[in-house]
Amino acid sequence: MRRQTLRWLAIGIASFGLVALCTHAALGRYRDDLGARRDLHRSAFVGSRACARCHGDHTRSWRATFHRTMTQDAAARDAVAAPFAGERYRYAGLVATMRRDEAGAPEIEVRDGAQRLVWRGDVVRTVGSRRFQQYVVRGPRGSSWRAPLAWSIEDRRWMHMNGAFLTPDPTVVQERSTGRDEAHPDHETAREAFLRHVTRWNDNCVFCHNTGPNPGYAQGTDRFDTEVAELGIACEACHGPGELHVRANTDPLRRYVLRADGGRDPTIVNPARLSPERAADVCGRCHGQRIADRVERFLARGDPFVPGEPLELYSSPLWQDTTLGSHRDEIEDEIGTEPLPFAERFWSDGTARLTAYELQGLLQSPCRGLTCTTCHSMHDGDPRGQVRPGMAGRAASDERGDSPGARDALCTGCHEAFASPAAAAGHASHRDASARCVDCHMPRVVYGLVDAHRSHRIESPDPARDARHGRPDACTSCHTSETRAWAIAARRRLWPRETSPAEPLRNVDSQDATPEVLRALLGGDPIERALAARALGEPSSAHAASTSPADHRARSLGALLDAMEDEYPAVRRIAWRSARRIARGSIDAPVWRAFDPTGDATSRQRAIAGIRAHLDSPTSPIDRPTLARLRAEQRAVRIAIGE
Amino acid sequence: MTGSDPTHEDEESGRRAADRAVAVGWAWLALCACGGLALEVALGLKLGWLLDDEGVRTMARLAHAHGVGLALVVLAFGATAAPRLGARTAATSMMLIAGAVLVPIGFALGAIGHGEVDPGPGVWLVPPGALLVIGALVRTSIAAIGYARRNRNL
């Protein structure tokens, strides 16, 4: 018995020793493997399904985002938001019919008044799933094209892309609506107006709305053989191609060594472990418009950027003074003829005024060490904006019910001096601690997707500076019944140490009592008008002490109803939505529903009259001569990409 | 064990192994059944530590299921095989009992400190436990076949 016990003991010790030796050898090998750099350009894309096998929690949180559904196969279940049940939509004298073929596939057909076919397309993909959904149809030689109409998810109706982008109604529509040309519009003019935003998917949308895009353009045959690793923005868009990672981690021992060593795996990119600059480049690839150094390479083989690399290896961000240089001949779009083709996308101080320039804003910000994921999270938080708790404006943080301590936590994490409520209130000089950090330091001066968005150029509010550069300021964007002169005086009074006494005033008429937002709404350029319309609809917009809340509401409503006659359908839509918010009107109420921002002028005017009657005659904020004067000051701006 | 008739000592050893297996098997079955009851209570009361964590839930279920199943195997061994198998019964019994205990404990410990991808390091007890169980089952099978042949029943 004793001999047997000794034998078992010896076997046990030998086994343990053998296992220990093997483990030690394996650990060394794995540690070497984990320390070796990998060239992820050699790794292939594997798709989110492969990621989901191990990263279930992250896959679930990603599936809840609008990134996932950015581009979808039209045949996929629940992908198509619009009914395609034979709806008819009229614009620019043409009629579009949206229906399904015998197999149930969606299609769009556009005909003129004489029933001649103008355009038709079989829908193969959808783009977008939050505000509005665009449709991509099959074209010749491997191409796909964006349809001229989109489905407004928020409004649950069709709209022409002029209403989704910042584009005025075409002349043919304006002339018809003013009665100057009651004759049927010329077929070609109407066709051109209607199809203005029909652009090729393969070399435009494909880059930022998909994972691993490759247009596959062959110049010789003028043909596209476009491929994407995955439709929509999936795991590998931010983490890089996953083939090496999947292959390496089929070994369970490697996974345990990886965990024990802190989880840094060279076969994949974790943006949370990148430097702030490289992490921002991952998002900036799409949220920072740029121009490729070698356009032909991008078109033939796709964007070579892999997360973790500097974006500047392959492209340069677009700035106000960017020129097309040697690319001028390669740009087919009308912007190719402009000397500074991107200038109108920025305020004159260089701050971006369109979305998809967030990286530029971050680069201009003084906050060092800050990166996109400081404030945003791809795997938690509200999918709308994907903002972490503690980094929302007043309205959003109130809606979410953030605790007072959490509201500005991400800012006060660095700016510790303002961490206590008393210190923050003293710094902000706002009653009831009603303003969040971002309300003043990241005002909504950016237009995109028929809405106003926060500037990502973090800076101190300065209405005098903003007046000089003709851009909206943080103060009057919230204090919507005040003038710019009031804002400048308030800043001097509240923050005297931060105001230079010799600061010259420009673009400020201290005698003009017109509130800045109303001036912008009725006399600004299209972006100013859109932003002002949004600001007036903000429930938290403050009114002057001399004005009662009821008067403020009536004046705002009156101004918005005036703006609902703007020549830009996008401005009309924002004004309509803001007016509805102020009046607490339901989108399903017939009186509000009757207004279609891309409808013809006669029906719009009838709808506005109906709303005025329904609202118990709200007063117009300014007299008709002033209104006419402001409208005469309006500046038309041609912005090639108004999305 | 095969090829010759079992001696009295072999039979005595087999009987002791059978008693041990039956005693351990019932005790282990009772413990693992209690674990199952605890899981049901946690599910019924919607306790977050179980419901909110897929890793914990999977490991706890595996621990419970393997514990109960292997306890029944140990009981079956004690009731049917051990009295008949002779000289090597004691070692086989120890292997089976050790494996039946290690596997569910490994799964239970795997719930502690698990990541998104893998269970906690405690789960490394499962493979040796499984090897012990399989080794014991193979040895028992061979011995049982030999026993049947000896008695001309096969």
Lowest-pLDDT range of A20-29, A101-110, A599-608, B36-45: A20-29
pLDDT the model gives residue A328: 59
Q: Do A255 and B117 touch (CB under 8 A)?
A: yes
Cβ–Cβ < 8 Å for A307, A269 = yes
Residue A523 C-beta-side C-alpha neighbours within 13 Å: 16
Q: Do B116 and A55 touch (CB under 8 A)?
A: yes
Write the CA distances from A39 to A188, A308, A641, integer angstroms: 52, 11, 35
Contacts of B20 (CB under 8 A, 6+ apart): B78, B93, B97
Checking if the pLDDT of B47 tops 50, the result is yes
**Which residues of chain B lie closer than 8 angstroms to A54, CB-CB?**
116-117
Overall average pLDDT of the A413-442 stretch: 85
Checking if the pLDDT of B81 tops 90, the result is no
- The closest of A389, A374, A411, A383 to A272, measured between CA atoms, is A374
**Closest residue of chain A to B113, computed from CA coordinates:** A259
Q: What are phi and psi of A88, to 5 degrees?
A: -120, 140
- Pairs of CB atoms within 8 A across A/B: 19
Query: What is the distance between the terminal CA atoms of chain A, rounded to a whole angstrom?
Result: 85
The residue assigned the tokens 């060594």 is A257
Overall average pLDDT of the A299-319 stretch: 96
Q: For residue A620, what is the DSSP state?
A: P
pLDDT the model gives residue A181: 45
Shortest Cα distance from A54 to chain B (angstroms)? 5
Q: Where are the alpha helices (DSSP H) in A234-342?
A: 235-239, 243-248, 252-260, 276-287, 295-301
**Closest residue of chain B to A260, computed from CA coordinates:** B121
Helix or strand run (H / E) with residue A641: none
Length of chain B: 154
Cβ-nearest to B118 among A8, A56, A255: A255
Q: Do A54 and B117 touch (CB under 8 A)?
A: yes
Annotate A336-380 with three-state secondary structure: HHCCCCCHHHECCCCCECECCCHHHHHHHCCCCCCCHHHHECCCC
Shortest Cα distance from B72 to chain A (angstroms)? 26
The residue assigned the tokens 């090829």 is B3
Mutation target to probe the A interface, by most A beta carbons within 10 A, among B94, B95, B114, B117 is B117
Write the CA distances from A129 to A134, A193, A227, integer angstroms: 9, 26, 22
Domain boundaries, chain A: 71-224, 270-465, 515-643
Q: Do B116 and A54 touch (CB under 8 A)?
A: yes
Domain boundaries, chain B: 8-146
CB-CB neighbours of A230 under 10 Å: 20
Helix or strand run (H / E) with residue B145: helix B126-150
> Using CA atoms, how far apart are residues B127 and B132, in angstroms rounded to an integer?
9
> Using CA atoms, how far apart are residues A234 and A302, in angstroms rounded to an integer?
17
pLDDT the model gives residue A625: 85
Q: Quick one: residue A521, left, alpha or beta (phi over 0 = left, psi -120 to 50 = alpha)?
A: alpha
Q: Do A249 and B117 touch (CB under 8 A)?
A: yes
- Rounded to the nearest angstrom, the gap between the alpha carbon of residue A626 and the centroid of all alpha carbons in its chain is 34
Cβ–Cβ < 8 Å for A468, A182 = no
User: Quick check: B121 contacting A, CB < 8 Å?
Assistant: yes
Shortest Cα distance from A406 to chain B (angstroms)? 24
Q: In DSSP terms, which residues pair with A122 in a beta bridge?
A: A107
Length of chain A: 643
- The closest of A290, A310, A285, A236 to A59, measured between CA atoms, is A236
User: Quick check: B12 contacting A, CB < 8 Å?
Assistant: no
Cβ–Cβ < 8 Å for B76, B68 = no
> Using CA atoms, how far apart are residues A570 and A102, in angstroms rounded to an integer?
35
Could you report the per-residue pLDDT of A542-570, keeping only the tens digit for each? Answer: 766 667 788 888 889 999 999 999 999 99
> Using CA atoms, how far apart are residues B86 and B88, in angstroms rounded to an integer?
6
Cα dihedral sign for B125, B128, B129, B130?
positive
Shortest Cα distance from A3 to chain B (angstroms)? 14
Choose the most confident range, by mean pLDDT, from A125-129, A164-168, A546-550, A628-632.
A125-129
Cβ–Cβ < 8 Å for A209, A36 = no
Q: Do A57 and B54 touch (CB under 8 A)?
A: yes
Contacts of A280 (CB under 8 A, 6+ apart): A359, A362, A363, A371, A372
Global ipTM: 0.71
pLDDT the model gives residue B2: 44
Q: Do B116 and A56 touch (CB under 8 A)?
A: yes
SS3 A53: coil
> Using CA atoms, how far apart are residues A147 and A138, in angstroms rounded to an integer?
10
What's the angle, vertex CA A394, arms to CA A392 and CA A395, rounded to 5?
95
Checking if the pLDDT of A228 tops 50, the result is yes
Overall average pLDDT of the A107-116 stretch: 93
Q: What are phi and psi of A609, to 5 degrees?
A: -60, -40
β A217-218/A290-292 pair status: unpaired
> Using CA atoms, how far apart are residues B24 and B30, in angstroms rounded to an integer?
10
Lowest-pLDDT range of A112-116, A155-159, B28-32: A112-116
Could you report the per-residue pLDDT of A247-294, keeping only the tens digit for each? Answer: 999 998 899 899 888 889 999 999 999 999 999 999 999 999 999 999
For A474-517, give the DSSP string: HHHHHBTTS-HHHHHHHHHHH-GGGS-TTPPP-S--TT--S-HH
The residue assigned the tokens 């996308």 is A345
Predicted confidence band of residue A222 (pLDDT cuts 50, 70, 90): very high
Could you report the per-residue pLDDT of B88-134, keeping only the tens digit for each? Answer: 788 899 999 999 999 999 999 999 989 888 899 999 999 999 999 99
**Which residues of chain B lie closer than 8 angstroms to A249, CB-CB?**
117
Lowest-pLDDT range of A83-97, A116-130, A170-184: A170-184
pLDDT the model gives residue A326: 67
Checking if the pLDDT of A148 tops 90, the result is yes
pLDDT the model gives residue A180: 46
Which has more pLDDT, A339 or A441? Answer: A441
- The closest of A605, A597, A641 to A89, measured between CA atoms, is A597
What's the angle, vertex CA A634, arms to CA A630 and CA A638, rounded to 5?
170
Q: In DSSP terms, which residues pair with A640 in a beta bridge?
A: none
Cβ-nearest to A58 among B91, B116, B124: B116
pLDDT the model gives residue B89: 84
Overall average pLDDT of the A66-87 stretch: 97
pLDDT the model gives residue B109: 96
Shortest Cα distance from B120 to chain A (angstroms)? 9
CB-CB neighbours of A4 under 10 Å: 10
pLDDT the model gives residue A422: 83
Query: What is the distance between the terminal CA atoms of chain B, rounded to a whole angstrom?
Result: 16
Cβ–Cβ < 8 Å for B146, B138 = no
- The closest of A470, A458, A370, A465 to A414, measured between CA atoms, is A370
- The closest of A138, A157, A141 to A74, measured between CA atoms, is A138
For A560-608, give the DSSP string: HHHHTT-SSHHHHHHHHHHHHHHHT--TTSHHHHT--TTS-HHHHHHHH
Helix or strand run (H / E) with residue A148: strand A144-152
Overall average pLDDT of the A52-68 stretch: 93
**Closest residue of chain B to A8, computed from CA coordinates:** B91
CB-CB neighbours of A422 under 10 Å: 9
User: Quick check: B116 contacting A, CB < 8 Å?
Assistant: yes
> Using CA atoms, how far apart are residues A610 and A623, in angstroms rounded to an integer?
21
Overall average pLDDT of the A149-176 stretch: 83
